[in-house]
Structure 1
Amino acid sequence: MNYKIGEKVTFMSEAGYAVIQSFKDANTVIIQDETGFNRDYPISELVKIQSENYAGGGYADKDNIEYEAEIKHTIKEQRLDFDTTDKQQVWEIDLHMHEIVEDDSAYDGGAKLRKQVREFKAFYKNARKNHIRKIIAIHGVGEGILKNEIRTYLDTQEFLEYYDADYREYGKGATAVELQYK
């Protein structure tokens, strides 16, 4: 991917953002991170930020347009640990690319991640709108980038608690979110 001096970028393996200051060599740039420090960084670990609305720590939706999830989610009925009365709906979403799009060959790594994050945000907002009390996001294990992006987004939301989903059912690749309402 071609980068230019002054472009905003985010990292594939850590939270935050930076601005490209200069090119050290063909594989390394000098960036200024959000804290104002300059450091060398491998070009292969950077992703362009496509929106000026980026606030750091995650991907902004382009132009703040409401994004409608294209992905199907599963609805289960189960008795929630925190509610012993009736069974409640639990929504589950699988964020693996092959579940989101039929052919992901047109997506590079950064575009895949942005698509997955947009799908999760739309899913989350839809669950809130429908007063769902628990959702499960299946993000896989991998390098943990998608999991980190999801949890960074959840940290900006109110009235919820999240944790690793049941290991027996999902392994280490899912996050459970309990939503609370006033």
Structure 2
Amino acid sequence: MRFKVGDEVRFLNETGEGEITRIEGGKLYVDVDGFEYPYSPADVILVDGENTVFETREFGSDRGGNNTHESSEKHAETPINIALKGALSQVFERVNPKGIPECDLHIEKLVQKHEHLTNGEIVSLQLEYLKHILDSAEREKVRELIVIHGVGEGVLKIEVRQYLSSFAHITYEDASFQRYGRGATYVRLYGL
């Protein structure tokens, strides 16, 4: 599937989102509060309402020269399907010395081969995994957990916390600096 005019996107390297207004010259032009800015397809994540959509996305233009694109179905497995076969079945196998479950969002922990993924696909996969973790925590009545997102440029940490903020029954704070540095978030689930 390809990006198309009208798609809502979230930015990887900055806060905010906007709507694709046109596609030309290898760039996506995104309207943000009435202003149009160019972005590389690798620097955005497709969103659908409140949810980040994870699909392998291709960028391209049609032969007619306008800004509409046809969708094409891929028969290859998407990275989320690969992860579902492995990492998701082992949700709460890792706990810290205090007995609190840990979930590691580092991409190399989720998929074996990630070199072919764009930055947007990687973050989308990590957020899908976090969603699964939270669903599992609620089912299993887990009241607290540690989400390891790493430090890096801070993009994943921002996305994780933005997602966690959308739940009234979840609070979060920095995890133990002594144990995790700045690379983890302590999550508490209420009302279970």
- TM-score with structure 2 length normalisation? 0.70
Please give the alpha-carbon distance, in whole angstroms, between the structure 1 residues aligned to 2:116 and 2:16. 26
Distance 1:91 1:42 in 2: 38
Query: Is the Cα–Cα contact under 8 Å of residues 8 and 17 in structure 2 kept in the other structure?
Result: yes
Is 1:91–1:127's contact at 8 Å kept on the other side of the alignment?
no
Question: Which secondary structure does the structure 2 equivalent of 1:31 belong to?
Answer: strand
Deviation, structure 1 residue 4: 4.5
1:178 aligns with 2:188: yes
Q: 1:113 to 1:48 in 2, by over 3 A?
A: closer
Decide whether the 8 Å contact of 1:71 with 1:119 is kept in 2.
no
CA 1:94–1:9: 2 relative to 1, 3 Å:
same
**Alpha-carbon distance in structure 2 between the residues aligned to 1:77 and 1:168:** 13
Q: Does the 8 Å contact 1:28/1:40 carry over to 2?
A: no
- Describe how 1:43-122 pairs up with structure 2 within 5 A: 43=40, 46-49=43-46, 54-56=48-50, 59-60=52-53, 69-70=88-89, 72-73=91-92, 74-76=94-96, 78=98, 89-122=99-132
**Equivalent-residue separation in structure 2 for 1:60 and 1:14 (angstroms):** 18
Q: Which has the higher strand share?
A: 1
TM-score by length of 1: 0.74
Q: How many residues align?
A: 160
Q: Within the alignment, does 1:9 sit opposite 2:9 as a pair?
A: yes
Q: In structure 2, do the counterparts of structure 1 residues 70 and 114 end up closer, same or farther at CA, with 3 Å as the change threshold?
A: farther
In structure 2, stretches of 5+ residues that fail to align are: 56-82
SS at match of 1:146: helix
Partner deviation per Cα, 1:153-178 (whole Å, 9 max, x = no partner): 11111222200100000000100011
CA deviation profile, 1:11-35 (whole Å, cap 9, x unmatched): 1123432222236x747554212x4
SS at match of 2:116: coil
